[in-house]
Amino acid sequence: MRVLVSERDTLLRELVAQWLSEAGATAVTHASAPVDAILVDISCQQDAHATRASWRRAYPHAALVLVSARFAHNAGADDAMASRLGVTRILPKPFSRAALWSALGLTKARAAARPQP
């Protein structure tokens, strides 16, 4: 799985890339190749519609996960908001490795099966 990570915070972007690698996925930061999923940091919910539209035009078949510190941690509400916004998932910050993997459909079993260098 190739995941385009659009995150402003350098340290968080690096951490997300590490977590993705642990699950056998590849993080990319430039939209130069086809991707399976897009993880996009947004600053407010008002940006969500324009962000969704922009990324959907560029990658119509990729899963789209919006990430923001402005989202509340409430699974039912997150799923309902994702549906309203037309995105795959909502991921409130701060989030755990498990939450990231879940949002992208990655699993621990997949990570455990990955050969270690």
In-domain check, residue 19: yes
What phi and psi values does residue 104 have, to the nearest 5 degrees? -100, 0
In-domain check, residue 116: no
In-domain check, residue 98: yes
Closest CA to 103 of 91, 115, 93: 91
- 51 near 40, Cβ under 8 Å? yes
Enclosing domain of residue 75? 2-110
In-domain check, residue 115: no
pLDDT (tens place) for every residue of the chain, 117 residues total: 999 999 999 999 999 999 999 999 999 988 777 999 999 998 777 777 788 888 888 899 999 999 988 777 776 677 888 888 889 998 999 999 999 999 999 976 454 455 544
CATH code where residue 31 lies: 3.40.50.2300
Instruction: Give the pLDDT of residue 53.
Output: 84
What's the predicted TM-score (pTM) here? 0.82
In-domain check, residue 70: yes
Q: How many domains does the chain have?
A: 1
